[in-house]
Structure 1
Amino acid sequence: MHNFVCPKQVPSTMKEETMNLIPPFSIPPQSRRIDPTRLRTAGLKPDGSNNHNDRADIGPTGLAFAEWENLGLQPPHLPTMRAYRLQRICDQLLAHDVGGILMFDPLNIRYATDTTNMQLWTAHNPARACFVTATGYMVLWDFHGCGHLSSHLPLINETRSGASFFYFETGDRTDEHAARFCGEIDELLRRHAGNNRRLAVDRIEIAGLRALDALGVDVCSGQAITELARMIKGPEEIRAIRCAVASCEAALGEMRQAMRAGATENDMWAALHAGNIRRGGEWIETRVLSSGPRTNPWFQECGPRVLSDGDLVSFDTDLIGVYGFCVDISRSWICGDLEPTVEQKRLYRIAHEHITANIEMVKPGVLFTDLTHNGHRLPESCRAQRYCVMFHGVGLCDEYPCIRYPEDLESFGYEGQLQAGMVLCVEAYVGEVGGKDGIKLENQLLVTETGYELLTNYPFEESFLRDC
């Protein structure tokens, strides 16, 4: 059975605020500061969320807010950010002429509702769903007994349960539960989308797809809708990303302190994870950190290898930080802060030149294929182990687009163009087949009206860039 909560009204207007482009490590005296006294009096945190110590929703900790204040960073206004995202979804639904979208991907649900609930568990156990119409009517199916987790969000019109129809939950009654759930979707589509029977779906169990087909619902893929909606970040999302980056970089500093002879790769990764969680971050999508000869080839995840002074350590954060935003930074360090070898310097300089040259091409209107064809070329000896992309979008996770190397354009490439408000990562892996060392570098940037703004500020290693 599903449980109904009183419908909530969607605001008729969606507030717009000016984008704050202050670099996290710059503290201009004229920057707007947080007034903790005023916010405490109002019962709100600096991001406009409830300041009640026992609230159900998660978010940044006092440590994060204090660090942001010291950096002159303004947190996002969450109600405005949420309204912007809903409007982005509605605009895409209208552009694609569909009556509504049904989402099971927990990150799409997060984008639409700004709710979280066992994000990793629901990524492989699809027990939550969200339905949004082109007019902005939103229904959230949460895990049973979890309606209280979204009670603070007025954009959600109804909260229900009963979206589980996978074998672990429903066994040989899966078809029955799928039919019941899809009957609710059919009723909502008829009530809120008129004669439009087209329903976008991001992903769904086979039993659910067959049940929708049986009801005469015209199912189409919703992945383009969600990716294109998420592609352009609003002013409050940019503020949130800047805050997430600052918190990640603080945790990177703590991870660097954990890098010492006798520590393991896992010890370093645990420090990053702990620093993220302490500030209100959420999880890390991978464990891509390796040391010594494990840096080549790439994609080896951290393990029990014990570090020694002089070891190369390379990593990619893939970190889901505060407000659910991904912070994707890659760096390569030397354990013990010793001088890198001549070969390590050579590889590092190639990677550094690669991403710094490629980022200079970024501005609105540039075609994806122009970035591919005009980008910095890796030496022939480093191309076989090139990274999978030159650029990729980033938001709540790695997002559209993927911009490929020339070698991969025919097989995987597609066309598009950069737009202001996109957030991208530019990256490189440089290591030769059979080589001992592998360098990984990556920065995150915002496409602006005139070019780009760097969002990551963690420094590169001067020791690798000095002359031998």
Structure 2
Amino acid sequence: MSTPTDSRFAAPIYRARLERAVEHMRAAHLDALLITPGADLRYLIGAAAESFERLTCLVIPADGSPPSVVIPKLELAMLDHSAASDLNLWVLDWVDGADPYALVKSVLPAGATVAVADAMPALHLLPLADALSSLPVSATAVLRELRMIKDPAELEALGRAGAAIDRVHARMGEFLRVGRTEAEVGADVAAAIVAEGHTEAGFVIVGSGPHGAEPHHAVSDRRIEAGDVVVVDIGGPVEPGYYSDCTRTYVLGDPDPTVAAHYADLERAHAAAVAAVRPGVTADAVDSAARSCLSDAGLGSAFVHRTGHGIGLSVHEQPYIVAGNDLVLRPGMAFSIEPGIYFRGGWGARIEDIVVVTTDGCRTLNNRSRQLTVL
């Protein structure tokens, strides 16, 4: 279990988040939130717990009474080692053989309208539904509103994460060489991610040659060849758990003229999407800015995914920068801008930065060159 040590992530910030959760619950006519381990729990009480077969569940009532934590006795140290220890939570611990779902029910009013986090596993959701004699509703709307707008401490953590992953990309010439396998490069990159300030390597994509046309390729035993275009998409968490996520595209030797021309179109699409980010515009409009640019260049069919995703304690979270999303952007939202082009069996390229919406536009948290980098 990792513990937030930064004083900016101490008890007062979590008390404020719990109070905001109550406000949003009341507006949504909910009586309680049930939160199992994951990013939502970490956001609300600072506890970096994991979900196992034994139930751990934070119960937040909408009536303003203190929240409860139903937790296995053997996991109590998790609370002691987090900000949760200073939050005046009512702790209901249990041992194997007891019924934790009945404990949850015991702190809820009869007939309560209960909402659960998206990440609650069916292993716990179904027994809870049985105990409550009804299926809980989704807490997505409440939790989205809480986590989408980052506070100054969160933005500072995301900024540190962005700078750390920039330092890894700055070292790519150490790792990417003709004759090395993607897996060998990936292992070195993963070590550099930790060396440059992350607690772990959250993910490493090294897509060389035709593998670059697979947006979610990881690594393989393919050896990198002269002339290969290589997509490197990497990231991980920095304390207390906020993620980096940055993609740059490299080429081993001078690029083919067609590659260079298409990559220039991708650069323009990325720049157009970043320029479109400001308060009051929709997520759809930002996606459209990138998509229209590539479509005008005849590359619309090569762009096969959304333009971006929110980031924070999860590497993918709200808001999603995707066609059809009419969510209006607000200051404090943080998300990726990552248009890509993919030619199956040939090559691919992607440019990804994390941006933060400001009062009059946005600022980028990644500042390495976005040009096709020749190694």
For the aligned pair, the TM-score class normalised by the smaller chain equals 0.7 to 0.9
1:128–1:186 distance in 2 versus 1, CA, 3 Å: closer
| Corresponding residue to 1:399 among 312, 317, 327 | 317
The question of 1:197 aligning with 2:126 is answered: no
Partner Cα separation in structure 2 for residue 331 and residue 86 of structure 1 = 38
Q: As a proportion of its length, which structure holds more strand? A: 2
Matched residue, 2:46? 114
* Contact preservation (8 Å) 2:355, 2:365: yes
Is residue 43 of structure 2 the alignment partner of residue 132 of structure 1? no
Instruction: For residue 268 of structure 1, give the secondary structure of its aligned residue in structure 2.
Output: helix
Alignment of 1:270-419 (within 5 A): 270-278=187-195, 281-335=198-252, 338-375=253-290, 376-379=292-295, 381-397=298-314, 398-405=316-323, 413-419=324-330
Contact 1:260 1:307 in 2 (8 A): yes
Cα gap change, 1:356 to 1:162, in 2 (>3 Å): farther
**Identity percentage of aligned residues:** 20
**1:183 aligned to 2:102?**
yes
**Structure 1 residues 88 and 268: CA distance shift in structure 2, 3 A:** farther
- Provide the secondary structure at the position in 2 that maps to 1:431: strand
Q: Does the 8 Å contact 2:41/2:58 carry over to 1?
A: yes
Shift of 1:86: 2.9
Deviation, structure 1 residue 447: 0.5
Match of 1:425 in 2: 336
Q: What is the CA-CA distance between 1:430 and the residue it aligns to? A: 1.0
- Residue in structure 2 matched with residue 445 of structure 1 by the alignment: 355
TM-score, normalization: structure 2? 0.85
Letter in 2 for 1:113: I
1:207 deviates by 6.3
Aligned pair partner of 1:93 in 21, 25, 28:
25
**CA deviation string 1:8-64 (max 9, x = no partner):** xxxxxxxxxxxxxxxxxxxxxxxxxxxxxxxxxxxxxxxxxxxxxxxx74468xxxx
Match of 1:77 among 1, 4, 8: 8
Instruction: Give the aligned partner of residue 227 of structure 1.
Output: 144
Distance, in Å, in 2 between the alignment partners of 1:447 and 1:352 is 20
1:148 aligned onto 2:80: no
Alignment match of 2:126 (pick from 206, 209, 227) = 209
Give the TM-score taking structure 1 as reference length.
Answer: 0.69
Deviations 1:126-149 (A, max 9, x none): 753322233373334456523223
Contact 2:250 2:373 in 1 (8 A): no
Point out where structure 1 has 5 or more consecutive residues left out of the alignment: 1-55, 61-74, 164-169, 171-175, 406-412
Q: Tell me the equivalent position of 1:32.
A: none
**Partner SS for 1:313:** strand
**Local SS of the residue matching 1:384:** helix
1:242 is displaced (CA, Å) by 0.8
In the alignment, structure 2 segments of 5+ residues that lack a partner are: none
CA deviations over 1:99-144 (Å, ceiling 9, x no partner) = 2211225111111122224x4xx3x757533222333733344565
Taking the aligned partners of 1:421 and 1:209, their CA distance within structure 2 comes to 36
Is the 8 Å Cα contact of residues 308 and 322 (structure 2) preserved in structure 1? yes
Matched residue type, 1:138: P
Q: Give the deviation of 1:272 after TM superposition.
A: 2.9
Structure 1 vs Structure 2 CA RMSD: 3.0
Question: Is the 1:59–1:280 contact (alpha carbons within 8 Å) kept by the matching residues of 2?
Answer: no
> More deviation in 139-148 or 387-396?
139-148
Distance 1:362 1:453 in 2: 9
Change over 3 Å in CA distance of 1:207–1:443 after alignment to 2: closer
1:416-439 Cα distance to aligned partner (Å, 9 max, x none) = 2001110121111112355x2211
Aligned residue-pair number: 364
